[in-house]
Each structure stands twice: as C-alpha cells, then as structure tokens.
Amino acid sequence: MKTLTVELGERSYPIHVGQGLLRRPELIRPHIKGRQVMIVSNETVAPLYMESVRTALQGLHCAETLLPDGERYKNLETLNLIYDQLLGENFDRSCTLIALGGGVVGDMAGFAAATYQRGVDFIQIPTTLLAQVDSSVGGKTGVNHPLGKNMIGAFHQPRCVIADTDTLNTLDDRELSAGLAEVIKYGLLGDAEFCDWLEENMQALLDREPDKLAYAIERSCRNKAAIVAADEREAGQRALLNLGHTFGHAIETGMGYGQWLHGEAVATGMIIAAEMSKRLGWIGDDELHRIENLIGKAGLPTRAPASLSTERFIELMARDKKNQGGKIRLVLLKRIGEAVVTSDYRPQDLRAALDAHHAITERSLAF
C-alpha cells in the first residue's frame, strides 16, 4: 500500500492506494468520530462491496442509501434521497457519510455531507478508476443542473480516501478507459515524463496489470494533491485540472447526461484543446498526433459528436464556471506537460477550431 497526503493544514488527509484495502478497518475507523455512519452507494456497486465495508464498520450504527446508477441522476432530486434517509434515521451532526462508488456517488455524497446540518464528515471509497485518480481527491462536490454540469456544489474535503485497486477488477472496459482519460490529463497538463510512461504502458493498463494500475493511480493522485494543496478553491492554477473539461462538459450537457461518460467527453475535449493550441501556434502537428494516438490507444473517442454544432458548443461553453466577464476561459497546452488557462485568443479562432474539428468528424464518417 502507498499512502500520500493532501496537505491542507488542519483539513489535510491521507490517500491510501493498494490492493485489499476494503478489508482493513484500521484505515477507515480512525476517521469516524461518532457512532452513526451512512454509506452512500448505488445499485451496481453495493452488491459487490457493501458487505466488506459494513464488516469493517462493525459495532457502529450503519445505514445505507442506494442511488440510481448514472450521471443523469446526479441532481437535486436524487440528492434529496440522501437527506431523507439521514433525517429519517435521526442522524446528527457527528455522523459520517461514506461514498462507496464512482464519481457520481462521491460528488453527491460529498455534497450531502457539505450541506447536511451545515456540514458533516465524509470519507471517499472510490471504486472506479476515474474516481480514484480524480473526483475523490480535492474536495469538489456537487450536482448537475439541466443548464450546466456541477453548477451546484461546495468545496468539502474528505477525511480520507481509500483507493482499493481490487475494485477495478469489476469495472467494465468502457469505464476503465474513461478513467484513463483523467490519467492522461495529468501527464498532458504538467508531467511530461508521465506521458512518456503512459505511451509505453497503455496496453498494460488496459490489461489491468495491478502494479501498473497502482503506479498510475498513485502518480495521478500525487499530481492532483500538489495542485489542490497549492490552490484549494481554484483561485488560480487548480483550473489547469480542467484541461479538456470545458469542451467535455459541453459534450456531456449537449448530448444529455449519461450518453457520453465524463472521461470520454474529457478525452475528446483534450483533443479539441490540443487542436486549438496548435491553431495558436503553441504545439505542432507531432504533438497533436501523439496526443490523439495516446487517447485513441486508451480506447477513448477522439471526435466530438457531429450533431453538436459549433454554435451549440459555444453556447454551452459560455456557462463554464471558469468564465469571467463574458469571456470563455480555456485550458490549453503550451507543450505536452505544460497547460495554461487563457482567455487571450480571438473568438473566431475558437469558432474555427470547432468547425475544423467537425470537418474532420464528417470526413471520418464519410469513409
């Protein structure tokens, strides 16, 4: 097992990465201060891992809320199921919520913890690759609104994160690939050496070699933890973690939540960001192709849906949380391993980049 720490003063917390961690009560119990624990999970994950977690919590008062599975349920209505259960069981302010599942479960359980009785403790037990490398770390919690993704939420740090790599064995291939999109993101935005490693080891990751997966998770978390520690509330550099997300959220929202997986949308979003970076003269054809190849090799889509027009893309991107004063802020690449946040581009360049991306889409489809 590897342990790293997200350094946030009195809100610091450990991330444990390794095999068989769900069966180690000593990792979780020191972080539970009261007697009441609510495990929030979904219909898919609970049958697989609920029993292990409950065993680790023996002697405490444990309740469960099972959410419907899928991004399209990540809304205020589903969130209310957690509040109903907490209040129905008379849970008080000393209770702890445990998120057992992927990013949707983690974001919702975290937001419920942030807002139940104005804030209670929570613990992340991510069971998807995407959640292990990204959403469980850093304290971003929230739900979607019909007009935009993650528009309602709070910063609320967990007490600890337990990433048991055994849980990835039950993940389907599509979800595994979606998680790899966020892994690739860390390489592209700030860790060129990790990009090289990923190019060499992508097949091993797809084959789920435990050591390789554990290494990729730990290195991803280390990258993320450093950025979060430097900028907890996204006043500056934390926005770099949104590489591919501005375009990706537009795809997710535009296609209807749940059609594209978050990681898939981010993957394609990173390619559009790279295309835009090339248009601004920052990266060359070689780098663009390297990026496209790496993403393609991970089993991820490289083209946005043709049905999403340039106009609609821009309309959806105008609602991104990074925007200021009406200008769409983009995370772009100066080179592989160095991202920047910028709104210093001409609107017609963004339009042209999206048009060109669509032209390629249509050309590909024509074959």
Residues forming the active site: 118, 140, 182, 224, 234, 238, 242, 245, 249, 262
359 touches its own copies (CB under 8 A)? no
Binding residue for its own copies (CB under 8 A) from 62, 152, 255, 314? 152
- The two beta strands, 121-126 and 61-67, are unpaired
The position carrying tokens 């749940």 is: 258
Binding residue for its own copies (CB under 8 A) from 5, 30, 87, 173? 87
92 touches its own copies (CB under 8 A)? yes
Cα 47 to the center of its chain, rounded Å:
23
CB-nearer residue toward its own copies: 145 or 303? 145
282 touches its own copies (CB under 8 A)? no
Q: What angle do CA 83, 89, 91 make, to 5 degrees?
A: 70
Q: Residue 186, SS3?
A: helix
The position carrying tokens 């966020």 is: 182
Site string for its own copies, 219-238 (x = CB under 8 A): --------------xx----
318 touches its own copies (CB under 8 A)? yes
Cα 64 to Cα 85: distance, rounded to the nearest angstrom: 8
Please report, as residue ranges, which positions from 112 to 131 form the binding site for its own copies (by CB under 8 A).
114-119
Q: What is the DSSP letter of 283?
A: S
Nearest to 313, CA basis, from 261, 259, 355: 355
Binding residue for its own copies (CB under 8 A) from 48, 81, 151, 360? 151
44 touches its own copies (CB under 8 A)? no
Binding residue for its own copies (CB under 8 A) from 172, 325, 348, 366? 325
Per CB under 8 A, which region of 204-212, 282-290, 305-313, 319-327 contacts its own copies?
319-327
Binding residue for its own copies (CB under 8 A) from 35, 174, 289, 363? 35
Per CB under 8 A, which region of 207-215, 323-331, 335-343, 344-352 contacts its own copies?
323-331
88 touches its own copies (CB under 8 A)? yes
Cα 279 to Cα 257: distance, rounded to the nearest angstrom: 30
169 burial level (CB within 10 Å; 0-12, 13-18, 19+)? exposed
Angstrom CA distances, 97 to 41, 55, 82, 276, stand at 10, 16, 10, 41
Cα 183 to Cα 190: distance, rounded to the nearest angstrom: 11
Per CB under 8 A, which region of 89-97, 171-179, 189-197, 271-279 contacts its own copies?
89-97
- The two beta strands, 330-335 and 338-342, are antiparallel
Write out the residues near its own copies by the rule CB under 8 A.
34-35, 76, 80, 83-84, 87-88, 90, 92-94, 114-119, 140, 142, 145, 147-148, 150-155, 233-234, 318-319, 321-326
